[in-house]
Structure 1
């Protein structure tokens, strides 16, 4: 299940996550995805080790913010979850023009 602090932060921002469930990434999931975004370079490298052929659709979510890496707030105070939410929100906003145009470079 989702970390209770993460759920609190999402609720504060009027985002429901009732269908969320954590799961380990696998090759089928990677192949089925149109776009794969990771928060950290280490995650990105692990994805590419598992399925090197997905390189062309795998990026840091912070790509448009000078390859910003976003630390996982797991087991950290609520402030860390708030900061992560803010970082991710900005990164998603930066991705929107590319997602809407269908062109990613």
Structure 2
């Protein structure tokens, strides 16, 4: 590895609130776009453990050609956090919580929307907000994932 380069990213963890809507969408989009050598997982701060994605998420993802039928909500643990090379969260309170809980991860925790314009970096939770909120979250997650892809590809070439 070159001096001054960051370590290669092999494990990405996406964090949301319930691991029922935003996290599974981002996980599936990243997994589909990244090489198989990069593991992508998701978990929730207050996960709906064992439950499938929201039906609206399933519908939107199927329209996009992505299958999330095998997803089961998973609670975030310290072990999951520590195993991640990159942690992507949906909003600033989640970022602050992760940094306060696991200070050794400072510098590895970012908003999924980190590269989006100011004011569009956080992705609100669509849970129980109706189809339009889900569509907006889907579009914001898609844009955010697209913004990360060239940076992650560069990371893999530098490793």
Q: TM-score, normalised by structure 1?
A: 0.91
**Does the CA-based 8 Å contact 2:53-2:69 persist in structure 1?**
no
User: 1:4-60 deviations in whole A, cap 9, x for unaligned?
Assistant: 111111111111012212112111101111110001001111111221111111000
- The structural deviation recorded for 1:97 is 1.1
Distance 1:59 1:12 in 2: 28
| Highest RCO, 1 vs 2 (Cα 8 Å, sep ≥ 6) | 2
- 2:118 matched to 1:51? no
Aligned Cα RMSD in Å? 1.4
Distance 1:3 1:40 in 2: 20
The structure in which a higher percent of residues are strand is 2
**Does the CA-based 8 Å contact 2:58-2:69 persist in structure 1?**
no
Post-superposition, which runs of at least 4 consecutive aligned residues in structure 1 deviate over 3 A?
none
| Alignment counterpart, residue 114 of structure 2, candidates 53, 58, 63 | 63
Distance 1:19 1:54 in 2: 29
Distance 1:53 1:24 in 2: 20
The structure in which a higher percent of residues are helix is 1
Gaps of 5+ in 2: 1-51
| Alignment counterpart, residue 89 of structure 2, candidates 28, 38, 46 | 38
Q: Which residue of 1 aligns with 2:55?
A: 4
